[in-house]
Chains A and B, each alone.
Chain A
Amino acid sequence: MNDHFVAQQLKKLSQITPNADWVSQQRQVIKAQVYNGQQPSGVAFNHWTDLWLSFRYAFNQPGVVVSAILAVVLLGGGTTSYLAGRTAQPGDSLYIARQINERAQLLAVSFDRAEQNKLKLAIASQRVTEMAAVDTLGNQQQAANISREFKQTVSEVKDKLAQAATKAAAVAVVQTGQVMETTPIVNPTDADGTFSVATGKDKTGRLEVSQTVVAPVATQTPSQILEEAEQLFDQQQYSATIDKLQAASDLLDSVANAK
């Protein structure tokens, strides 16, 4: 006979309960005593009272009070840093908070490449506005830092776009099951709005496929637009740089929507 068995047997003794008749009688006696012969008050304690009592009890516990103060300090501090950091300029003490905030936002969309690219372009636009502000102050060191960050951000987007294009081409090859040209051979001279493409369909040769196409809206790829934006940035044409970044972002958006 081990402790567990003894404990199990002891638990069975909880079946010992008072006689039901006695319980019933006793309930009446207790009620009579408690209500002093009067009817129970109609104004019963409701859930709001319970909630209030629970709050009052909780805030009498030292642990809860300390936790609440810590939560207020951390949340309050975090929110204040976030709000202040949103408008912080390079050189401000809260500029680092802003950068952390940007990284956190990028982390939040790390599984959505299109969103991440768009967010990076928005951050790059932010760097451009900061560069404009720093240029007027003539702070060379800050200007160099911002320029480096801008170029790094734009470069990251371009790299991601290049990777995505390579991956898409590889997928196309796998789907056809044969070696074929990764880029369709398009005849731009077709005047009737058709294009020809080598599909690599069989061993006998190339199969020409013709299809009416709508005249393309965008003549540039997002990567090309970004290169232009970089050039404009170097030429200190900040407003035009922001326009280009916006155009690249819109183009990425439309490509994502088309998919």
Chain B
Amino acid sequence: MTKSLVKQSSDRLLFLRLKIKDQAAFIQAYEAHQADIYRFIYFKVNSETEAQDLTSTVFLKVWSVVQAGKLKGYNTLKSLLYTVARNTVIDFYRRNGQLDKVCLDDEDMAIDIVDSRPSALEIVQQDSDLKMIYQALAELKPEYREVIVMHFVNELSVLEIAQVIAKTPGNVRVIIHRGLEAIRKLTNQEKLAPEPESSQLLDKQLDNE
């Protein structure tokens, strides 16, 4: 709790310093949030390489926003970073739509784990429950997955998420509740089912590594 408050206060100060285009503050913001933004993008694109490239793009875009002094539309550092990250991922899919890549933000398409790299997979491999949750997360509706990742993995508050996705805190709570319910259902199905396809695919990848 205290740690969270300290982090919030530090973020607020960084954001204020960004408003006066402080370069050192931007570097600090990068250091503090690059892992979170990377993770947020990773769960959207499901590819380490793409996530890395997009994370770089996000921070360069943020710097250009800072330099242009266009921070008035943002309330916090997190809302700035996550909003730019979201838009960057959307742009990425718009540009690469014709390349026939798997779009995880498309609700009608199933999500296949095709480009997972050891770092994430190794973490998941160590824990069977975590593996199940990871698979369920990949099968969630993108709208739910995005909010679940922001709230439970990156520890954004409901209010912060509401600012990023431009919805009310009440709506965000509903999405979180439904997301959790969907994960529970998916994990229960997996427990009952002999071996789902996504799990087999994941195991095959792990064997290959």
Contacts and interface: CB of A to CB of B under 8 A. Distances in A.
Interface of A: 1-3, 5-7, 9-19, 22-23, 26-27, 29-31, 33-35, 40-41, 44-45, 49-50, 53-54, 56-57
Contacts of A6: 133, 180, 183-184, 187
Interface string B48-74: 100110011001100100000000000
**Chief secondary structure at chain B's binding surface:** helix
Given A10-B137, A27-B30, A33-B63, A53 B17 contact: yes
A16 B39 contact: yes
Given A30-B59, A50-B13, A16 B27 contact: no
Contact of B30 (A1, A5, A30): A30
Interface in B18-42: 20, 22-27, 30-31, 34-35, 38-39, 42
A17 B31 CA distance: 13
Given A3-B184, A34-B63, 17 more contacts: A2-B184, A6-B183, A9-B127, A10-B153, A11-B152, A11-B155, A13-B130, A14-B153, A17-B35, A17-B39, A18-B34, A18-B52, A22-B52, A34-B23, A45-B17, A50-B13, A53-B13
Contacts of A45: 17, 22, 24-25
A68 B42 CA distance: 45
B120 interface: yes
A10 B152 contact: yes
Contacts of B17: 45, 49-50, 53
Contacts of B154: 14
B5 interface: no
Contacts, number: 109
Given A6-B184, A53-B13, A53-B16, A30 B60 contact: yes
Interface in B151-183: 152-155, 180, 183
B129 A9 contact: yes
A18 B41 CA distance: 11
B24 A17 contact: no
B148 A10 contact: yes
Contacts of B42: 16
